[in-house]
Amino acid sequence: MTNVQKPAMRPANPYFSSGPCSKRPGWSLEALKDASLGRSHRAKIGKSKLAEAIDLTREVLEVPANYRIGIVPASDTGAVEMALWSLLGARPVDMLAWESFGSGWVTDVVKQLKLENARRIEAPYGELPDLSQVDFSHDVVFTWNGTTSGVRVPDADWIAPDREGLTICDATSAAFAQRLDFAKLDVVTFSWQKVLGGEAAHGVLILSPRAVERLESYTPAWPLPKIFRMTKGGKLIEGIFKGETINTPSMLCVEDYLDALRWAKALGGLAGLVARADANAKTIADWVGDTPWVDFLAVDPTTRSNTSVCLKIVDPDVTRLDDAGQAAFAKSIVSMLDGEGVAFDIGAYRDAPSGFRIWCGATVEAADVASLLPWLEWAFQVEKSKLQAAA
């Protein structure tokens, strides 16, 4: 077996997980010292912190003033489910999917809500579906950035400005790293555990005036659990969007989110966050361009994510293996880098094609991404030498 020299430089921060994601640079538990622990979230101090989180979200994410922002239970999943169960059924719906989470929303709508007028518009991993097929007299559900495929919509130009239906957008790995065109979006959901590296279990739900109008004029045919209910007596429960959460939030997590938002604001807000993610993704793109054994899972460069960057191995000695062999090869590389302490949690998502998924959101430093790449090369060469020796 060939003796391959280990790289000399290691990433200072080896946390490249796609969720929960790396904490901001310089983070420590000291950042949470002002958390209102042991106090009711309904007390004045609790409400004020929740309201501040909503206000800073609006400022940093550049959410229009007439859109409501609420902190809701159960991470991005909870926010999406609230939207699906509360808003769908009023008209036909087009469900877009090109990776596992989008496919999950299809399953919920077709098999749980049992909407017979749901239309699937799908594409395999690495590709976007044909967006020209979307009928905007229907409601439309889609992910802005496919976290498990590294494929994103390049913009919102494909969305009709005079649409009749609502657009419901799962933006969890896009928010704070990619510019969202809110004029084209009626519902936006995300979890602060992604681009801002906040602690898990809380979701954010953003509603346009059109979405609010639907909530106040339409009652679904199915019962809604308490944590999904956003109206009472046919009117929006405004308190949800002023810091009066539906269930008890973790004030420790809220404090952590506030810390991340203040850090983001100090960076220059959304522009600064996007620039950091873009720089991280470019570091990988430049390396891929010079490295023959690896390529992006995303086929079209205009659809490549700048956060959940997904890569596949294209070396002929590896691709001639069966699927199980290719997966084992990639997993061996992931395990080696984990064992070396240079990269944690960079394996492809369990339902995705084998390969790597490297988080490049704003809390990651470009220098750490650059330091990781020689280690990927080292691990690949070590594993390939084993493969050749066994041939």
Spacing of C-alpha 311 from chain mean position: 17
Whether pLDDT at 283 is above 70: yes
User: Percentage of residues in the chain with pLDDT exceeding 90?
Assistant: 98
Tell whether 24 is covered by a domain: no
At residue 188 the predicted structure's pLDDT band, cuts being 50, 70 and 90, is: very high
Tell whether 260 is covered by a domain: yes
Whether pLDDT at 263 is above 90: yes
Alpha-carbon distances of 152 from 84, 125, 315, rounded to whole Å: 21, 11, 25
For residues 189 and 55, membership in a common domain is answered with yes
Section 244-264 average pLDDT = 97
SS3 249: coil
For residues 249 and 328, membership in a common domain is answered with no
Handedness of CA 300, 303, 305, 308 (dihedral sign): negative
Domain edge (last residue) among 200, 234, 266: 266
For residues 155 and 188, membership in a common domain is answered with yes
Section 338-362 average pLDDT = 98
Tell whether 22 is covered by a domain: no
Residue 222's domain is classified under what CATH number?
A: 3.40.640.10
Section 126-133 average pLDDT = 98
Section 172-199 average pLDDT = 98
For residues 247 and 279, membership in a common domain is answered with no
Section 110-132 average pLDDT = 97
Structural domain boundaries enclosing 185: 35-266
Domain edge (last residue) among 266, 281, 312: 266
Whether pLDDT at 255 is above 90: yes
d(CA 102, CA 112): 15
At residue 2 the predicted structure's pLDDT band, cuts being 50, 70 and 90, is: low
Section 163-185 average pLDDT = 98
pLDDT in tens, 55-77: 999 999 999 999 999 999 999 99
Whether pLDDT at 274 is above 70: yes
Nearest by Cα to 79 from 194, 8, 168 = 168
Strand-pairing partners, residue 304, are 151
At residue 1 the predicted structure's pLDDT band, cuts being 50, 70 and 90, is: very low
Tell whether 289 is covered by a domain: yes
Whether pLDDT at 223 is above 50: yes
For residues 285 and 201, membership in a common domain is answered with no
pLDDT in tens, 160-173: 999 999 999 999 99
Whether pLDDT at 52 is above 90: yes
Note the pLDDT of residue 150.
98
What angle, rounded to 10 degrees, do the helices at 44-61 and 270-290 form?
Answer: 50
Average pLDDT, the chain: 97
Residue 286's domain is classified under what CATH number?
A: 3.90.1150.10
DSSP string, 136-202: TTSEEEEESEETTTTEE-S-STTS-TT-SS-EEEE-TTTTTTS---GGG-SEEEEETTSTT---SSE
Section 71-94 average pLDDT = 98
What angle, rounded to 10 degrees, do the helices at 270-290 and 251-266 form?
Answer: 80
Tell whether 130 is covered by a domain: yes
